Every structure is written in C-alpha cells, then in structure tokens.
C-alpha cells in the first residue's frame, strides 16, 4: 500500500503544478492584452536585436509609465534606441513609438466601444482556455487515481478522497481564473 500512497502524492502534486501553470499562463495572457491603459507588461517581452542577439526589452532599458496613457522606455545604452523603436513597430501591438534620441515614448490610444467588445471576447476565450487547462490536468489526475484503484494499488476510500481533493483544488483555481477575468473586464470597460 505504501507505493499507492507515494503514487497518489505524485499524481496530486503533478496535477496541482499543471493547474497552477494554466492559471499563471492565463494571467500572463491577460497582462499582454492592451486595454487602453499603459502597462510595462505590454512591451517588456518584446525582442530587440541587440548586437545580433535577440534580447527582451526589459533587459535593455528602464520601462516606466509616467501617466496612465504613456509608456516611456529609456535604454541604458543609447546606441540601441533605434533598434528598440524598430522592434516595437514590428511587434503585433499596433503601437507607434516616438523616439526623441534619449527616450522612446508610446502613447496608448483610448478604446472604442467596438474594440472593448472585441477585447472582452478575446479575454473570455483566454479565460476558457485556462479553465480547460485546469480541467485537463484534473481529468488526467483522476484517471490515474482510478487506474490505481482498479489495479488494487490503493483502497477505494483513498481513491474517492483523492478525487475529491483534486476537484477542490480544481474549483479553487477556476475561481482564480474567473476573478482575473472579472478584473480584466472591469479594466477594459472602465477606461
């Protein structure tokens, strides 16, 4: 029976890691969706050609939001400012940088009602993908537990208790995704 307990712990731990990862990915996706409010998360991951090496923007410059509608990027090495501007233009953000030779500024335009509706659909899809990721991890874990029960490696009551624990964790993480979605929707509609 000791092997069964070890297997259950491993199955539950793996499932929890996969579920948490799905939630983290969902929240990160939300950060990358432009809402009309300046956020360094929009640009910090953009890859800039720095001496023929793709480098994340956050590794080349100080990024700040001096006001809710502006992102300011001040490179530590002034010679890379044109590459930063080029990388922003090539990104799929649809933003136009203004380069004054020392700082690149990006003005975030206000959202139209049509764009708000479109963004709401996008974030709901991202949230559903996150929920599916959590549920898939749950399904996989429960199937493993059922196999252990069927093989008589663990008793039936342990199987049911483990399945209940996995479901509780699933429900908790789905709530986190729903709360993040609600927050992002409020952000989109408040700007």
How many Å apart are CA 20 and CA 89, to the nearest integer? 33
Q: Rounded mean pLDDT of 18-42? A: 85
Contact criterion met (CB below 8 Å) for 105 and 98: yes
**pLDDT on residue 1:** 44
- pTM for this one? 0.70
Domains annotated for the chain, with CATH where assigned, are 2-32+112-190 (1.10.132.20), 40-107 (3.30.1360.40)
- Rounded CA gap, 104 and 54, in Å? 19
Largest CA distance in the chain: 71
CA–CA gap between residue 59 and residue 5 (Å, rounded): 45
Question: Cβ(131)–Cβ(179) under 8 Å?
Answer: no
Instruction: Name the H helices within the chain.
Output: 2-31, 81-90, 113-150, 156-190
More confidently predicted of 3 and 124: 124
The phi and psi torsions of 101 (rounded to 5 degrees) equal 95, -20
Select from 1, 15, 14 the least CA-distant residue to 135: 15
Percentage, residues of the chain above pLDDT 70 = 96
């Amino acid at each position: 029976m000791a092997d069964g307990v070890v297997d259950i712990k491993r199955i539950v731990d793996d499932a929890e890691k996969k579920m948490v990862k799905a939630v983290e990915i969902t929240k990160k996706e939300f950060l990358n969706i432009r809402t009309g409010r300046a956020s360094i998360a929009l640009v910090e991951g953009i890859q800039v050609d720095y001496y023929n090496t793709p480098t994340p923007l956050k590794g080349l410059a100080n990024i700040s939001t001096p006001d809710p509608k502006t992102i300011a990027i001040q490179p530590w090495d002034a010679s890379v400012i044109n590459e930063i501007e080029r990388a922003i233009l090539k990104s799929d953000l649809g933003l136009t940088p203004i380069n004054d030779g020392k700082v690149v500024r990006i003005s975030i335009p206000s959202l139209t009602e049509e764009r708000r509706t479109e963004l709401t659909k996008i974030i709901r899809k991202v949230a559903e993908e996150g929920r599916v990721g959590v549920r898939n991890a749950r399904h996989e874990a429960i199937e493993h537990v059922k196999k252990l029960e069927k093989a008589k490696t663990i008793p039936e009551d342990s199987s049911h208790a483990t399945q209940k624990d996995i479901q509780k964790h699933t429900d908790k993480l789905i709530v986190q995704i729903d709360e993040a979605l609600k927050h992002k929707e409020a952000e989109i509609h408040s700007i």
